[in-house]
Amino acid sequence: MILNRRTLIVGAAATLAGCDRLAKNETVREALFSAENFHRWAQRSLMARDALVHEFRPDQISPFFRPNGTANPNTPEYKALWRTGFADWRLQVGGLVERPLSLSLAQLHAFPHREQITRHDCVEGWSAIGKWRGVPLKRVLDAARLRDGARYIVLHCADDMGGGNGYYESIDRVDAFHPQTILAFALNDQPLRVANGAPLRLRVERQLGYKQAKYLMRIEAVTSLDGIGGGKGGFWEDHAGYDWYAGI
């Protein structure tokens, strides 16, 4: 036969090398990266603005919720906060708001809570189900009163990803005001462990795992993502080319 395994492998590798070369072409690259916009538009057209993700029963919770990414920020500042049980930790809420806030954990707990058993879908392909408890982000943003120009909410984290780049993520107003978008301080009825983002992390349930920013320090309302980090709206977006819209 003309096609033996070796020919097939060499052929496949050559074609794939061709695809790789193609991907270096600026136009092709732009097309590949802009598929995200189509998916965001299509998904948002298909779903109600406040469409909820499925919430599971307690018996469907994963036996162990896999932590991923930073397991411990380990910076001197974070360690100092951790040693005192985050008594000195404050969540700063600023940027385009009329009333900047500085909230302690106790003050956050005083807000109305929401509890939800949801599935965490990692961009890598695995899923874990956990019960989260926290304050709807909407409540905090309402307390800080967003100004008109505020289009995105940026979440700055305590973990240093190397080279002075802090982890950060951002979401738009649609997801920021979604009823299931919460600032979570508890997982499976326990205060967040360090590996899962203590003392506070974001849950934005209609998006993938890398959007669920851990070790929250500061929330900033902005008009544009330019000038923050690498300008693409998140650490992995800047450094690995991940899609900013992670509902896909």
Partner 1 sequence: MDGARSEPKSAEPKPVLRHRWPTRLWHWTNALLLYVLFTSGLGIFNAHPRLYWGQYGANFDHPWLTLERFGSWITLPAHYNLAMSRHWHLTAAPVFAFALLFYMLWSLFGRHLGRDLAFRRGELAPRHVWQDVRDHARLRFPTGEAALRYNVLQKASYIGVIFVALPLIILTGLTMSPGMNAAWPWLVELFGGRQSARSIHFITAFALAAFFLVHMLMVILAGPLNEVRSMITGRYKVPEARS
Residue ranges binding partner 1 (CB under 8 A) = 1-3, 9, 12-13, 15-17, 19-20, 23, 31-33, 35-36, 38-40, 42-44, 46-47, 51-54, 56, 60, 62-64, 66, 119, 121-129, 205-208, 236, 240-243, 246-248
Q: How far is the CB of 244 from partner 1 (least distance, A)?
A: 12
Our CB check for partner 1 shows the closer of 66 and 173 to be 66
Our CB check for partner 1 shows the closer of 51 and 71 to be 51
Q: How far is the CB of 216 from partner 1 (least distance, A)?
A: 20
Q: How far is the CB of 230 from partner 1 (least distance, A)?
A: 14
Burial (CB count <10 Å: 0-12, 13-18, 19+), residue 153: buried
Q: How far is the CB of 245 from partner 1 (least distance, A)?
A: 8
Q: How far is the CB of 115 from partner 1 (least distance, A)?
A: 18
Our CB check for partner 1 shows the closer of 191 and 247 to be 247
Our CB check for partner 1 shows the closer of 54 and 83 to be 54
Kindly report the three-state secondary structure assignment for every residue of the chain.
CCCCHHHHHHHHHHHHHHHHHHHHCHHHHHHHHHHHHHHHHHHHHHCCCCCCCCCCCHHHCCCCCCCCCCCCCCCHHHHHHHHCCCCCCCEEEEECECCCEEECHHHHHCCCCEEEEEEEECCCCCEEEEEEEEEEHHHHHHHHCECCCCCEEEEEEEEECCCCCEEEEEEEHHHHCCCCCEEEEEECCEECCHHHCCCCEEECCCCCHHHCCCCEEEEEEECCCCCCCCCCCCHHHHHHCCCCCCCC
Our CB check for partner 1 shows the closer of 185 and 242 to be 242
Q: How far is the CB of 238 from partner 1 (least distance, A)?
A: 11
Our CB check for partner 1 shows the closer of 86 and 245 to be 245
